Structures are given as structure tokens and as C-alpha cells.
């Protein structure tokens, strides 16, 4: 069940952002059929997998040999009976397979044809290889991460692949489905991870235009310059996150750190930059004098906007996440539950559906039995 129940998606197997987008569509209730190459997955495609591949959950898998004209024709048949085609190849690959928009969309004008690449379908870098850090590095977003004396480093795969790529493409597909279903007007979506990241940086760039972020790293309050918006090491080599930006939160921070009467802080003027260095030293020494657990207790009450920095392994035990069941267990592993939540449709984790069951789905779509005979010698990797 989900708000996209009844929507049929064909996903061309790929890496990273493409499969993550397909997972999001499946979590929203769409029927997602992954078209895979026959044989075993590459090391790159399986590097994130330990027993369970979360990017395949809720999907059906069918290998096709796209060097075979018979299999290409079968794929055209499947696409023609679906609402969405999602591919994340480099520009020109689908065209060389005879599956480009000029062919597919002309025959199926209501189709949403979603194309995910790093740099977009056009431009001087369109065919250039890249990964998450390359894309976010080109937007300016990477520049403001990390300390000024260290090389910038962003959280792996989150800002580019996951947010700028998969999440925005999911939004684009669901938006394009409205005119497709309502008026029969499909369209091609050109999703570039770099442009998606650039779009997500709109709010941050507005601070840059206003002079709150500059080309000098860690000099502004947003990127680590201010002592009341930073991270601090604790006595047990853990960290606390401080984001006491508004004056009422800053006052609460000083009260809970017992710094209200300290000469560096007593006037509550948090914007006096000349004191930021000395203030940071005082706060850092305080945090390093006790464990993270101690500070969690100190800041459990009050609105200082101070919280502990957790690892991925610790996150699922956070009381807020536990109360809202923000993680689920599958085959002994824990994965984040889908977000946002819908009042009228529930979600339950589902395994991927392989081989014969996927072919049953194609029969339900109405793919002719004669066309399905071409699949008899092909199996999903690992299927018996």
C-alpha cells in the first residue's frame, strides 16, 4: 500500500542515486521492475550490501540481455505497459540501445521518462565521470564543510546522490505523473545530480548573498565560525552538537553551561566576533571535562539546541527514533524507515521479488506469452 499504488515503474539497473530513487518509489507504493544484466552484480553494485540490499526492497527483478533484439523488443513492450521509465546511464546509452525518448515517448506519449545523470544530458561535462563529491564540489556546497585548517569533507553520498539525485528525482517523477495521468501528457525528466544539489543550496546561497557566508571558510556563524554553532569533543572522545543560534537559545546554553556570569559571556552579546575565539576555547574546555552521557543529562531539559552526535550504529537507539519506529529490522540488519509518513496509507518492509514471480507480474501487465518465452534461460543473480 502507498500513495503510488497502481503506478508501474521500469527501472534500468544502475548504481547509487538511480536505485535509491527506485527504492523511494517502491516505498511509496509503486510497482517497480528492475531490468538487470544477466549474471552477477559488479563489485561496485554490491559494495553496500551485507546480506540484504535495501535499494532492492519492494522491487521485482528481471534480467534481460539488451544486446539481444528480442529482449530489447520485450523491454519496449514492458515499458509501453508502464507509467514510468527510470534510467541512470550516461547520455546516449539508451539511444544506442534503441530505447531513447525519441523512440519510446513517440510511441507512448503519456510515459514519464526519467533520466538521472551526474551532470545532465547536455553541456561540456555531460559525458564526464563523477561521484557525489565531484557534484557537490562544483556547487559550492562542499566548500563550507570541515574546519578551515582541514580539507573539506561532506557526509558520504548524502547531499549529492541521495538528496540532489534520488530525492529530487522522486519529487520530479511524482509531479510529472499528475499531467501524465490527468491529461495523458508524459515528459522527459533530465535530472542532474549536480544541478539538484545546486538547487538544494538555494537557502545556503541566500546567506552567501547576504554576506553571512564568505569565501573564507569557517569565518561566519553558519560554517563553524561562531562558538555557539559548532561541534565539541567530550572527555570520552565523543561529540556534542551546539546550535544555539537565536538569543533565547543562546541564553539557555550559557545557563546550562553555568557561564552566565563569566566575563566573556555576561553581556549576552553573541555577535561580538572579536570574542569568538576566546569563547570557543572556554566552551571546548568545558565539554572536554565530562563525558557525552554527562552532557546529554545536562541538556536533556531546556531549549539550548544542544544534542549528542551519534554514529549510524547508535542512531536507531535514539529515544525519539524508537518512539516513532524510525528504523526497521530485516534479516538482522537495521534500516531507516521511509519518510514522510502518510495518514491514509501504511508501509511495511518488503523483500525483492525475483525471477518467476517477476514474470508473473509481466503476465498481469498483459505482456504476450510468446514474448515471455525469451526469458526462460535467464535468472536473477543468486536465483535458483
DSSP 244-291: --SHHHHHHHHHHTT-TTSTTTTT--TT-GGGHHHHHHHHHHHHHTS-
- Is residue 131 part of the annotated active site? The answer reads yes
- Give the residue from 67, 73, 63, 120 showing the smallest Cα distance to 92: 120
* Per-residue confidence (pLDDT) for residue 346, from 0 to 100: 84
Task: Go through the chain and tell me how many residues it has.
Answer: 384
Average pLDDT, the chain: 93
| Whether pLDDT at 25 is above 80 | yes
- The Cα–Cα gap between 70 and 88 comes to 23
Neighbours of 42 (CB within 10 A): 10
CB neighbours of 26 closer than 8 A, spacing ≥ 6?
Answer: 9, 32, 57, 58, 59, 350
* Per-residue confidence (pLDDT) for residue 376, from 0 to 100: 63
Catalytic one of 27, 108, 144, 161 = 161
| Whether pLDDT at 348 is above 90 | no
CB neighbours of 241 closer than 8 A, spacing ≥ 6?
Answer: 231, 306, 307, 308, 309
pLDDT digits over 288-320, tens only? 999 999 999 999 988 999 999 999 999 999 999
Can you list the positions of beta strands (E) in 118-224?
Answer: 187-192
pLDDT digits over 275-295, tens only? 999 999 999 999 999 999 999
Q: Is the dihedral of CA 274, 276, 282, 284 positive or negative?
A: negative
- The Cα–Cα gap between 37 and 77 comes to 18
Q: What domains does the chain contain, in order, with CATH numbers?
A: 8-200+352-375 (3.40.50.10540), 221-322 (3.30.1540.10)
Instruction: Supply the DSSP symbol for 154.
Output: P
| Whether pLDDT at 97 is above 80 | yes
Angle in degrees, CA 280, 281, 286, rounded to 5: 95
- Over the range 277-286, which residues count as b (16 or more CB within 10 Å of their CB) and which as e? eebbeebeee
Neighbours of 39 (CB within 10 A): 11
- Is residue 65 part of the annotated active site? The answer reads no
Q: How confident is the model at residue 227 (pLDDT cuts 50, 70, 90)?
A: very high
Catalytic one of 53, 65, 131, 190 = 131
Q: Is the dihedral of CA 241, 242, 245, 247 positive or negative?
A: positive
- The Cα–Cα gap between 287 and 282 comes to 9
CB 62 within 8 A of CB 380: yes
Amino acid at each position: 500500500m502507498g500513495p503510488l499504488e497502481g503506478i508501474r515503474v521500469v527501472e534500468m539497473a544502475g548504481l547509487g542515486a538511480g536505485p535509491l530513487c527506485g527504492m523511494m518509489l517502491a516505498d511509496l507504493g509503486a510497482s517497480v521492475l528492475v531490468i538487470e544484466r544477466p549474471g552477477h552484480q559488479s563489485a561496485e553494485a554490491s559494495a553496500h550490501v551485507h546480506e540484504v540490499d535495501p535499494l532492492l526492497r519492494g522491487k521485482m527483478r528481471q534480467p534481460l540481455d539488451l544486446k539481444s533484439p528480442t529482449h530489447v523488443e520485450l523491454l519496449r513492450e514492458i515499458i509501453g505497459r508502464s507509467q514510468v521509465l527510470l534510467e541512470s546511464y550516461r547520455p546516449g546509452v539508451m539511444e544506442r540501445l534503441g530505447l531513447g525518448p525519441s523512440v519510446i515517448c513517440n510511441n507512448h506519449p503519456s510515459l514519464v521518462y526519467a533520466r538521472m545523470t551526474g551532470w545532465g544530458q547536455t553541456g561540456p561535462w555531460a559525458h564526464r565521470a563523477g561521484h557525489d563529491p565531484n557534484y557537490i564540489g562544483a556547487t559550492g556546497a562542499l566548500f563550507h564543510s570541515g574546519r578551515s585548517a582541514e580539507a573539506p569533507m561532506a557526509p558520504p553520498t548524502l547531499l549529492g546522490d541521495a538528496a540532489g539525485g534520488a530525492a529530487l528525482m522522486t519529487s520530479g517523477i511524482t509531479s510529472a505523473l499528475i499531467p501524465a495521468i490527468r491529461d495523458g501528457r508524459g515528459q522527459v525528466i533530465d535530472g542532474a545530480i549536480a544541478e539538484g544539489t545546486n538547487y538544494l543550496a538555494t537557502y545556503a546561497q541566500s546567506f552567501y548573498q547576504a554576506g553571512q557566508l564568505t569565501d573564507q571558510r569557517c569565518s561566519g556563524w553558519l560554517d563553524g565560525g561562531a562558538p555557539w554553532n559548532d561541534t565539541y569533543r567530550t572527555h570520552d572522545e565523543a561529540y556534542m552538537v551546539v546550535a544555539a543560534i537565536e538569543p533565547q537559545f543562546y541564553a539557555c546554553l550559557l545557563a546550562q553551561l553555568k557561564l552566565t556570569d563569566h566575563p566573556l559571556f555576561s553581556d549576552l552579546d553573541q555577535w561580538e566576533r572579536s570574542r569568538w575565539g576566546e569563547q570557543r576555547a572556554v566552551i571546548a574546555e568545558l565539554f572536554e571535562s565530562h563525558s557525552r552521557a554527562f552532557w546529554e543529562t545536562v541538556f536533556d531539559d531546556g531549549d539550548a539546541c544542544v544534542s549528542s552526535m551519534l554514529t549510524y550504529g547508535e542512531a536507531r537507539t535514539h529515544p525519539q527514533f524508537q518512539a516513532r519506529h524510525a528504523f526497521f529490522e530485516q534479516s538482522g540488519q537495521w534500516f531507516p524507515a521511509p519518510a514522510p509518513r502518510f495518514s491514509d496509507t501504511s508501509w511495511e518492509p518488503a523483500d525483492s521479488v525475483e525471477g518467476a514471480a517477476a514474470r508473473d507480474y509481466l503476465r498481469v501487465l498483459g505482456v504476450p506469452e510468446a514474448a515471455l518465452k525469451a526469458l526462460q534461460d535467464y535468472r536473477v543473480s543468486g536465483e535458483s
